[in-house]
């Protein structure tokens, strides 16, 4: 694209940063592994949602809004879901209980993502609506000698793939030598993984050539990415913990089924969000959910706006670990408070912000550039349009209704303060408030209350 910066991305597969060249610039395709919907997402899970949302926005900016396809799946079949359904709805038939758990969790995830300023991905396929595609891939893998049946399971034969382990840099010998757990007797190799497993009568299941059963986790993403993005696509993303085994096994399945050299050209992984040096996770018990941060006072004794959470995340480069703390959220909030409230403008974003993002999503530099621009725009309203477009690229632009609410309460407070100043005959301060508001496009009109004769001030936003 003429005049656009060269986009450079770090690729886990090659372990270097390289210029990004899409397979088809009229349809740039990105897949990101989405949530398993058994429980509310924690703020660590928000990191890939936010990081890849920024990449989605940048790709749309560079290649055009309608030239990017972003797929993020919903994993709605998983033994953790079954366990949760039995626990929460013991009186219901399992299928019904599962539906309640997955629907509620999925709805909450979408609400959380929206509150964090994430655009909806182009497609959000559910695993349970793609079982036929999974069965097809497994059939191909068996036909090509990459998979076998054993004891009620269909397993991928890791030794059948010459370069299995390339993404995570492991070879089979390492894995075998390092395998401390006893090898499952039915597996040909210790690293072989489940593609399909039979279900008992009480477990959820789908008919297949191997009997009524359910898919393994990895095969879901191979099927959904193929359906929506093709056998080979541009970018695949997720958190660092997914490199092995999940992404390694997605690659094995897809490449062996389709006979391709790669599944995706670029593999991107975000670092962990940590608490006191440890990865935030359900199993560690050190987590706080996005819902709790937004809507309760569990963390730091107060609620945190989605925008603050998002900015706090973007103040660290996506490949670095983040230590999640109240201090960090307060820092983000202080920064946001200095930025003007403006609506999206349709202007071109600032080139410094774009170049920073184009350099492997350097959101740290982009936030710094945006802050400088915000300060300049506070002094020079002509810059507000560029500022608004740049903020939108990072997704830290408040939504219109939020602007209206936040603006209204901030303006009301300043107007009241100005009336106090006028009463105290502190005209210099009163004028300063009027001027500050004018910079934000707010015009004041003084009048008298007809009944009391007291001074009243009304205001309107001029854009
Ligand atoms: P899960 O529900 O564990 O499959 O995680 C969903 C997504 O969140 C995956 O991309 C994970 O890699 C990512 N993730 C989970 N925990 C963290 C964390 N503490 N920091 C950053 N990303 C995480
Ligand atoms: Zn996946």
- Kindly report the CATH number assigned to the domain that includes residue 21: 3.40.50.620
| Whether residues 212 and 149 fall in one domain | yes
Please say which residue of 373, 396, 419 terminates a domain: 396
Q: For ligand 1, say whether the CB of 330 is within 6 Å of any of its atoms.
A: no
- Do the domain assignments include residue 317? no
414 and 390 within one domain: no
Do both 363 and 446 map to the same domain? no
263 & 156 share domain? yes
**In 210-298, where does DSSP find H-type helix?**
217-229, 248-258, 290-295
Among candidate residues 56, 21, 24, the one with its CA nearest the CA of residue 394: 56
Establish whether residue 33 lines the binding site of ligand 1, counting it when its CB lies within 6 angstroms of any ligand atom. Answer: yes
Q: Is the CB of 279 under 6 A from ligand 1?
A: yes
45 CA to middle of ligand 2, Å?
Answer: 14
How many residues are recorded in the chain? 463
Domain housing 421: 405-461
Residues 242 and 348 in one domain: no
Residue 304 lies in a domain: no
Angle at 269 between CA 137 and CA 44, to 5 degrees: 105
Q: How far is the CA of 369 from the centre of ligand 1 (A)?
A: 29
Ligand closest to 127 (CA) is: 2
Last residue of a domain, one of 377, 396, 415: 396
Which ligand is located closest to the Cα atom of residue 246? 2
Residue with tokens 């707010």: 442
For residue 48 and ligand 1, the question of a CB distance below 6 A is answered with yes
Annotated binding residues for Zn(2+): 33, 221, 246, 250
Count: domains in the chain: 3
Residue 170 lies in a domain: yes
Residues 6 or more apart whose CB falls under 8 angstroms from that of 426 comprise none
Ligand 1 pocket test, pick from 32, 37, 45, 276 with the greatest ligand atom count within 8 Å of Cβ, gives 45
Question: What is the side-by-side strand order in the sheet with 264-270?
Answer: 68-72, 28-32, 233-239, 264-270
Q: Is 163 within 8 Å of 172 (Cβ atoms)? A: no
Which of 245, 270, 295 marks a domain boundary? 270
Q: Do residue 376 and residue 260 come from a single domain?
A: no
Q: Tell me how far the alpha carbon of residue 269 lies from the centroid of ligand 1, in angstroms.
A: 10
The answer to whether the beta carbons of residues 435 and 444 sit under 8 Å apart is no
**Cα separation values, 410 from 194, 400, 427, Å:** 56, 15, 20
What the block records as the tokens of 44 is: 């660590």
Q: What is the 3-state secondary structure (H, E, C) of 146-171?
A: CEEEECCEEEECHHHCCCCCCCCCCC
- Same domain? 134 vs 156: yes
Q: Please, are residues 98 and 81 in contact by the beta-carbon 8 Å criterion? A: yes
CA 390 to ligand 1 centroid distance, Å = 28
Q: Which of 99, 365, 82 is nearest to 214 (CA)?
A: 82
**Cis bond before residue 245 (omega within 30° of 0):** yes
Question: CA-to-CA distance for 224 and 221, rounded, in angstroms?
Answer: 5
In-domain check, residue 139: yes
Q: Determine, yes or no, domain membership for 37.
A: yes
Residue 430 and residue 417 in contact, taking contact as beta carbons nearer than 8 Å: no
- pLDDT reported for residue 2: 46
> What gap in Å lies between CA 256 and CA 277, rounded to an integer?
38
Phi-psi group of 425: left, alpha or beta (phi > 0 → left; psi -120 to 50 → alpha; rest → beta): left
Task: State in Å: Cα 250 to ligand 2 middle.
Answer: 7
In a domain, 51, yes or no: yes
Q: Is 252 found in the same domain as 107?
A: yes
Residue 288 lies in a domain: no
For 111, counting Cβ atoms within 10 Å of its Cβ (0-12 exposed, 13-18 middle, 19+ buried), the class is middle
> Contact at 8 Å (CB) between 50 and 59?
no
Mutating to test ligand 1, I would choose from 36, 37, 44, 283 the residue with most ligand atoms within 8 A of its C-beta, which is 44
Residues 154, 51 share a domain: yes
DSSP at 243 = I
Q: Which residue has the tokens 């009048």?
A: 447
209 and 233 in a common domain: yes
Residues 380, 432: one domain? no
User: How far does the centroid of ligand 1 lie from the alpha carbon of residue 288, in Å?
Assistant: 13
Q: Which atom of ligand 1 is nearest to the CA of 280?
A: 19
443 Cβ contact list (under 8 Å, min separation 6): 437, 459, 460, 461, 462
459 closest CA partner among 423, 428, 424, 417: 417
**Do the domain assignments include residue 134?**
yes
Distance, in Å, from the CA atom of 223 to the CA atom of 297, rounded to the nearest integer, reads 41
Q: Which residues are annotated as a binding site for ATP?
A: 282
Residues of the chain whose pLDDT is less than 70?
A: 1-3, 172-183, 398-403, 462-463
Same domain for 165 and 214, yes or no, is: yes
Q: Which residue lies with its CA nearest to atom 8 of ligand 1? A: 45
Spatial separation of the C-alpha atoms in residues 108 and 292, rounded to whole Å = 12
pLDDT computed for residue 443 by the predictor: 86
């Amino acid at each position: 694209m003429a005049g656009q910066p060269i986009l450079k991305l770090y690729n886990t597969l090659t372990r270097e940063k390289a210029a990004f060249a899409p397979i088809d610039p009229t349809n740039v395709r990105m897949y990101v592994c989405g949530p398993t919907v058994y429980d509310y997402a924690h703020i660590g899970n928000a990191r890939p949602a936010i990081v890849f949302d920024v990449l989605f926005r940048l790709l749309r900016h560079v290649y055009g809004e309608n030239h990017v396809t972003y797929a993020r799946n919903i994993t709605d079949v998983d033994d953790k879901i079954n366990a949760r359904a039995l626990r929460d709805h013991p009186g219901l038939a399992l299928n019904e209980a599962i539906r309640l758990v997955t629907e509620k969790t999925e709805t909450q995830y979408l609400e959380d993502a929206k509150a964090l300023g994430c655009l909806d991905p182009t497609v959000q396929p559910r695993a349970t609506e793609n079982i036929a595609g999974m069965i097809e891939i497994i059939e191909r893998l068996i036909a090509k000698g990459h998979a076998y049946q054993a004891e009620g399971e269909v397993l991928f034969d890791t030794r059948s793939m010459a370069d299995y382990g390339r993404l995570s840099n492991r070879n089979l010998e390492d894995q075998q030598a390092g395998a401390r757990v006893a090898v499952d007797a039915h597996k040909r190799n210790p690293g072989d993984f489940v593609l399909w497993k039979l279900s008992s009568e009480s477990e959820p299941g789908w008919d297949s050539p191997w009997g009524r059963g359910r898919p393994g986790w990895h095969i879901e993403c191979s099927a959904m990415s193929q359906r929506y993005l093709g056998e080979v696509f541009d970018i695949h993303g997720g958190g660092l913990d997914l490199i092995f085994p999940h992404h390694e096994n997605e690659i094995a399945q897809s490449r062996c089924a389709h006979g391709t050299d790669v599944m995706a050209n670029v593999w991107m992984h975000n670092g962990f969000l940590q608490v006191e040096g440890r990865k935030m996770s359900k199993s560690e018990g050190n987590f706080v959910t996005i819902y709790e941060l937004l809507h309760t006072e569990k963390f730091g004794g107060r609620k945190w706006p989605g925008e603050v959470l998002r900015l706090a995340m973007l103040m660290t480069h996506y490949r670095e670990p983040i230590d999640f703390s109240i201090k960090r959220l307060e820092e983000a909030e202080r920064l946001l408070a200095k930025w003007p409230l403006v609506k999206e403008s349709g202007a071109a974003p600032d080139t410094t912000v774009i170049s920073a993002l184009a350099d492997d999503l350097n959101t740290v530099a982009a936030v710094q550039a945006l802050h400088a621009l915000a300060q300049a725009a506070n002094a020079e309203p002509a810059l507000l349009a560029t500022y608004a477009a740049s903020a939108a690229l990072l997704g830290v632009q408040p939504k219109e209704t939020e602007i209206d609410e936040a603006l209204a309460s901030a303006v009301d407070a300043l107007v009241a303060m100005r009336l106090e100043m006028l009463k105290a005959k502190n005209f210099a301060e009163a004028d300063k408030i009027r001027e500050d508001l004018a910079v934000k496009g707010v015009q004041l009109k003084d009048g008298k209350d007809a009944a009391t004769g007291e001074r009243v001030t009304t205001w309107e936003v001029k854009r």
